[in-house]
Amino acid sequence: MKILITGGAGFIGSHVVRLFVNKYPNYQIVNLDKLTYAGNLANLKDIEDKPNYTFVKGDIVDASFINSLFKNHRFNAVLHLAAESHVDRSITNPLEFVYTNVIGTVNLLNAAKELFKEDSSQFVKFYHVSTDEVYGSLGETGLFTETTAYDPHSPYSASKASSDHFVRAYYDTYKLPCVISNCSNNYGPYHFPEKLIPLCINNIKNSKPLPIYGKGENVRDWLFVEDHARAIDVIFHKAELGTTYNIGGHNEWTNIDVIRLLCDMMDEKLGREKGTNQKLITFVTDRAGHDLRYAIDSTKLQNELGWKPSLQFEEGLSKTVDWYLKNDEWLNNVTSGAYAHYYEKQYSDSNK
């Protein structure tokens, strides 16, 4: 089985690549990534020399590049994670999200469709990794299920919703064997420090202000990233074609409560007096169109495929903070931008 994983140098993608490369030595894993600001090959240092792993630098928006990559490698399956993923960036530059998340996804679907058309027994799965943000925002109660109507509010979630629709359309129209999952907020090692949790870990470490949008009352449902990767593994291998699974931690927190917990935890870990870090909390202008609450019902995944989250939030957050405190070099390279040129000599577009 030769599997193309897109976006494997990003946060979640790197955990998925690591899991597949280590757990399935008989699979050939090809990681395709453009290495945008969010892609960092240092995330995969521990597996880069494994015989069943190959990295290819390239852009999913470039259709002719994608078509020749598929022709050369004749993949048996695709696990698609590459995306522009940060809501705030989508507010300032929506088109970048349309290119990568919508057009990039359709380019991959087209290339997969050609392989499937040539030999439907050889191309077996197109797995599209998506987000709970496509469902919009909840009020005080209720949970997103797989049948909740799509109602995206940000350019990011609108682009992900659009890509989900295309994947379903290719299943219905061309019978392309597709599966989709929609997951809640992830946290854990290798998370780019523009997102709430790693941003605040880094700022606490450096005694800088912690920017909380609005009143900090927005609710997110946090899941440890390795639990998401395990869910993707289970869904990839067991899900019926044409289906969707929601993935989430049943772990809702207001932003302000997450940051207070993080502050107290890091007071202890950094040997600071209790209450020191909470003084860094700074309420700032709210995000435009800020969704109030996300919460996932993952009953279908738990009942049908037997997955469940493995970590309590406090335990996962503590592990995450320890990882960031231990991996100073990774964090410094990412915040300084030094990582961007790290592997340039080793890899180039020519290895496609």
Residue whose token pair is 């406090």: 314
307 and 231 Cβ atoms separated by less than 8 Å: yes
Decide if 156 is catalytic: yes
List, in sequence order, every residue forming a beta bridge with 245; answer none if it has no partner. 181
Q: Of 135, 168, 165, give the one whose Cα is nearest residue 150.
A: 135
Which span sits near ligand DAU by CB under 6 A: 137-145, 213-221, 232-240, 323-331? 213-221
Q: Of 292, 311, 147, 324, give the one whose Cα is nearest residue 222.
A: 311
By beta-carbon distance, which residue lies closest to ligand NAD?
10
List, in sequence order, every residue forming a beta bridge with 179; answer none if it has no partner. 127
- Closest distance to ligand DAU from the beta carbon of 52 (Å): 28
Burial status of residue 13 (CB atoms within 10 A of its CB: 0-12, 13-18, 19 or more): buried
Interatomic CA distance for residues 125 and 146, integer angstroms: 20
List, in sequence order, every residue forming a beta bridge with 282; answer none if it has no partner. 211
Q: From the candidates 33, 48, 84, 132, which is the catalytic residue? A: 132
| Region for 74 from its dihedrals, namely left if φ exceeds 0, alpha if ψ lies in -120 to 50, beta otherwise | left
**Contact between 224 and ligand NAD per CB under 6 A:** no
Interface of this chain with ligand NAD, residues 6 to 25, rule: CB under 6 A: 6-7, 9-13
104 binds, among ligand NAD, ligand DAU, none (CB under 5 to 8 A by kind): ligand NAD
33 binds, among ligand NAD, ligand DAU, none (CB under 5 to 8 A by kind): ligand NAD
Interatomic CA distance for residues 181 and 79, integer angstroms: 11
270 binds, among ligand DAU, ligand NAD, none (CB under 5 to 8 A by kind): none
**Contact between 86 and ligand DAU per CB under 6 A:** yes
What letter would DSSP give residue 252? Answer: E
Of the residues 90, 100, 107, 203, which one makes contact with ligand NAD according to CB under 6 A: 100
Interface of this chain with ligand NAD, residues 119 to 178, rule: CB under 6 A: 129, 131, 160
Of the residues 94, 193, 211, 242, which one makes contact with ligand DAU according to CB under 6 A: 211
Residue whose token pair is 């190959």: 54
Decide if 150 is catalytic: no
Interface of this chain with ligand NAD, residues 61 to 90, rule: CB under 6 A: 61, 81-85
Interatomic CA distance for residues 191 and 201, integer angstroms: 11
146 binds, among ligand NAD, ligand DAU, none (CB under 5 to 8 A by kind): none
Which residues form the catalytic set? 132-133, 156
Q: Which chain residues interact with ligand DAU by CB under 6 A?
A: 85-87, 131-133, 184-185, 195-196, 199, 211-213, 218, 220, 255, 287, 294
